[in-house]
Amino acid sequence: MLDEASRRELPVTVSDTHLLIAPETLSEILGWELKPQGLCRDSACFPVADSDGVVIDGAIDLEGFARTVGRPLALDREHRVAALGTAAATRADAMESLVAPDFRLPDLDGRMHTLSEHLGKKVFLVAHASW
């Protein structure tokens, strides 16, 4: 599972119709809790109805989880890899705040640089590429 900056091994029970994870996997690896209020992380909870098909015999359907919390999930069943991306709503919140998101990237010599190290200065951030 590729989740933001991390790459984690995710124990998953795979069937034709479902990819099921244990609640412990959900909390320990993905950082979400299944509570009576629904799927929760920090102070946000997304309600889950029995009919949603998200919780099956106490296990959590990975696609149902992603759908409920609004996050994009890309799956490759053949190679058993998944990527969990940023929810459009989360990105909208962040963009509307006008706060420039911090990042940490290497230069060509492998030294890491952040945006936040330049707080207090005007920054001209330009993205380019060889293509």
C-alpha span between 58 and 26 (Å, rounded): 12
- For residue 115 the two structure tokens come to 């945006």
SS3 33: strand
* Nearest to other proteins of 15, 124 (CB atom): 124
Between CA 39 and CA 47, with CA 66 as vertex, the angle to 5 degrees is 30
Which residues are registered as beta bridge partners of 113? Answer: 105
- For residue 84 the two structure tokens come to 């969990």
Site for other proteins in 82-101 (CB under 8 A): 82-89, 91-92, 94-96, 98-101
Q: How many CB atoms lie within 10 A of CB 19?
A: 22
Q: Is residue 130 near other proteins by the rule CB under 8 A?
A: yes
Tell me how many residues contact other proteins (CB under 8 A).
52
Question: What is the pattern of x (binds other proteins, CB under 8 A) and - over residues 45-74?
Answer: -------------------------x-xxx
Q: Is residue 15 near other proteins by the rule CB under 8 A?
A: no
What is the binding site for other proteins (CB under 8 A)? 2, 7, 70, 72-76, 78-79, 81-89, 91-92, 94-96, 98-103, 105-108, 111, 113, 115-116, 118-131
